[in-house]
Structure 1
Amino acid sequence: MASPQPSITIPHFMRAWTLTHRGLPRDILQLSSHYPVPQVDSETAVLIRISHVALHPGTIIMMTLAPSLLRRFPSIAETDFSGTVVAVGAQVPVSATSHPGRYFSPGTAVFGSVPVSKHLQGCGALAEYVVVDVTQIARKPVNMSFAAAAGLPVSGATALALLDALPAPPDARARVLVNGACGGIGHFVTQLLATRENPATIMGTCSESSAEVARTCGCHEVLDYRNLTGREKLAFDAIIDAFGSQALWRDAARWLKPGQGHVYVSVGPALEAYTVAGAVAALVRQVLNRFMPVWMGGVDREYKQVLSVVDAGKLERLRQLAEEGRLETWIGGTWAFENAMQAFEILLGRHAKGKLVVRVQDLAPGED
């Protein structure tokens, strides 16, 4: 039995960006104005009226490459959202007395993410309503807007995974290189490094036009990513590759100190093209980066690749970091719901700054 918020009438249909087959967003996404509103389907499920959605490249990979046998169509695009709880299952905690910090009575402002398994079954966030399990949401940070909170889940959780993969937290004696310091993941990594007690010296790579953003996020030095080749040797204690540059990894012996405790941590090689061939090539590079011995041409440095799953624990860490003032979302642009395709085009261009956010709908009085 679902418990709705009395002041909000839940409609039977909603607007949603949907797809019925694989492909790039421009070729397959359609704006439906008559899509059924999902129902609370378990005792731990939550129905959320979505305010904002943040795009990320992982959903485009699924959109273009996930085999049709693994997907259910029609499907709604995207996974990361913010919004307001409007109905909950019987076992969802609604009282601060029994569940401090994790209670979600109707009217609660939240952020979260649709898990990959559910997303492949058709559930998505680029719509006016979404149903997810309570483990996939957290209360919106009190000092963050809905737009900013929508950008936290996947990119923020991946930033945490990159830092957790380091052998030890870097201190004031260390120098750290952050590749892609202004991107959706990288700007979170930079902030988390910069706001530590006794922070390391941070050099960030980005485009020349984004240098000021990188400094605002916490970089002490900024380097144009196009000018890495041929530079003098710079000795870093760690490299955090938030973009997935194969060229940087192949040249890592010039940038990263040798020996135990010095590691190259990456999100994995970026896809050169959203094609099956591009995906296979990226998988091959992942394996070779990790296992190719030096005598066969491998790089003489330790390589780690992270894979992050959004769950309640990571969402609560992100909420706490945001409320402590250690984490802000740099919004590279906001688009109205009907103009979402413009945001996808910028994301596909691979030079987005921060997070690209779609405003799904304005909040009703009392929902903020």
Structure 2
Amino acid sequence: MRKVMYNQFGDESVLNIIEQAVPTIEKDQLLIRVKAVSINPLDWKVYGGEMKLMSGSKFPKSVGIDFSGIVEQTGSAVTRFTAGDAVIGLLDVFKGGALADYISVKVTDIAPKPVKISFEQAAALPVTGLSALQIIDQLAAVGANQDVLINGATGGIGVFAVQIAKKRGARVTAVVSTKGIAEAKKWGADMVVDYTKQPIQLLTQKFDVIIDLSTKLSFTKAKSLMKPKAVFVSTLPSPLALISSFINNLFSGQKHKILIVKPTAQGLNTLTKLAEADLQIVLDKTYPLTNVRDAYGEARRGKLIGKSVIVLD
């Protein structure tokens, strides 16, 4: 089978498709034939070496976190799924390994694929969807009538964060580029700010929650936009950021929370229910596995709306 691996940190040129044996499974595992894998910013932060304290520096390493696929085989202790079931899931966010024709997973790593969406859409759901749920419901605890600013609202997490925040009754201000204005309005944003024409630092409104998904708005800069008891959420879990946020939160009413995705079966099942209802899933572009370097290069450099997905034959 094919699998994407790398033997050193670097840019997309370090990614190679190699041949490996199909993995064997333990009694509590399932063998999944992968149909699609989504691209996440965390992927290139890991293979670029930015997360080596979390991912380690031992090679070879694998790529790809969330996936959709079909159950090929089940271990003797598995009762919830059978061969032929369509599923979504995700692997360890710092180790990856989903970019392969076959992967072995535990039952807790997967959930049934929503029937009404494609495998490509399904692959785009787990990491960014769980991230949005964790930010909105746990880190920020967004509630009715709160004012929420989402910076980078048309990226993978932003698509879901806007929609879920609205479901929780918040008033959402989405910060986007010009080409994302119509999309953000379609997802339910109450106000849309085009950062190419209006710097968010010049906004006069104060917010209960500020979610930075662009990685360009620091907590220090966001403070002027925050209410006294507001929460700022960022998505860069560097050791320095974790330490500084911990110290800040001991003494300041303005809290700095950092997302570290914690996958749960309950979260995956919540996402599938949302997707079966009315949650919009937006794909920017799909690629064949043979174009894996181009896929990651374009995703890392581009201004995407939604997610890019790699499709396995």
- Give the alignment's TM-score, normalised by structure 2: 0.90
Candidates 13, 18, 27, aligned match of 1:43: 27
Q: Give yes or no for contact 1:55–1:355 (8 Å, CA) kept in 2.
A: yes
Structure 2: distance between partners of 1:290 and 1:68: 18
Q: Give yes or no for contact 1:202–1:221 (8 Å, CA) kept in 2.
A: yes
Q: The residue matched to 2:77 in structure 1 has which SS?
A: coil
Once the two structures are TM-superposed, the CA of residue 253 in structure 1 deviates from its matched residue by 3.3
Matches for 1:86-101 after TM superposition, within 5 Å: 86-93=72-79
Once the two structures are TM-superposed, the CA of residue 246 in structure 1 deviates from its matched residue by 3.5
Q: Percent identity?
A: 31
Query: Partner amino acid for 1:179?
Result: N
In the alignment, which residue of structure 2 is the partner of 1:204? Answer: 174
In the alignment, which residue of structure 1 is the partner of 2:99? Answer: 126
Query: Partner amino acid for 1:124?
Result: G
Once the two structures are TM-superposed, the CA of residue 69 in structure 1 deviates from its matched residue by 9.4
Structure 1: distance between partners of 2:156 and 2:54: 28
Query: Partner amino acid for 1:139?
Result: P
Q: The residue matched to 2:236 in structure 1 has which SS?
A: coil
Number of equivalenced pairs: 310
Structure 1: distance between partners of 2:226 and 2:164: 21
Once the two structures are TM-superposed, the CA of residue 339 in structure 1 deviates from its matched residue by 1.4
Query: Partner amino acid for 2:89?
Result: G
Query: Partner amino acid for 2:73?
Result: A
Candidates 335, 347, 363, aligned match of 2:299: 347
Highest Rg: 1 or 2? Answer: 1
Q: 1:168 to 1:185 in 2, by over 3 A?
A: closer
Q: Give yes or no for contact 2:46–2:55 (8 Å, CA) kept in 1.
A: no
Once the two structures are TM-superposed, the CA of residue 244 in structure 1 deviates from its matched residue by 3.0
In the alignment, which residue of structure 1 is the partner of 2:149? Answer: 177
Candidates 231, 256, 262, aligned match of 2:202: 231
- Residue 18 of structure 2 corresponds to residue 16 of structure 1: no
Question: Cα deviation per residue 1:345-364 (whole Å; 9 max; x = unaligned)?
Answer: 12221632211101111xxx
In the alignment, which residue of structure 1 is the partner of 2:92? Answer: 115
Once the two structures are TM-superposed, the CA of residue 338 in structure 1 deviates from its matched residue by 1.1
Q: Give yes or no for contact 1:21–1:68 (8 Å, CA) kept in 2.
A: no
Structure 2: distance between partners of 1:68 and 1:230: 33
In the alignment, which residue of structure 2 is the partner of 1:283? Answer: 239
Q: Give yes or no for contact 1:45–1:133 (8 Å, CA) kept in 2.
A: yes
Once the two structures are TM-superposed, the CA of residue 116 in structure 1 deviates from its matched residue by 4.0
Q: Give yes or no for contact 2:142–2:170 (8 Å, CA) kept in 1.
A: no
Once the two structures are TM-superposed, the CA of residue 302 in structure 1 deviates from its matched residue by 2.1
Q: CA RMSD in A?
A: 2.5
Once the two structures are TM-superposed, the CA of residue 205 in structure 1 deviates from its matched residue by 0.6
In the alignment, which residue of structure 1 is the partner of 2:167? Answer: 195
Which stretches of structure 1, 4 residues or more, deviate above 4 A after TM superposition? Answer: none
Question: Cα deviation per residue 1:164-218 (whole Å; 9 max; x = unaligned)?
Answer: 23564321x332111111111111111112234xx22211011111111211222
Query: Larger strand proportion, structure 1 or 2?
Result: 2
Query: Partner amino acid for 2:64?
Result: E
Structure 1: distance between partners of 2:55 and 2:180: 41
Structure 1: distance between partners of 2:141 and 2:4: 43
- Give the alignment's TM-score, normalised by structure 1: 0.77
- Residue 190 of structure 2 corresponds to residue 220 of structure 1: yes
Once the two structures are TM-superposed, the CA of residue 315 in structure 1 deviates from its matched residue by 1.1
Structure 2: distance between partners of 1:291 and 1:87: 48
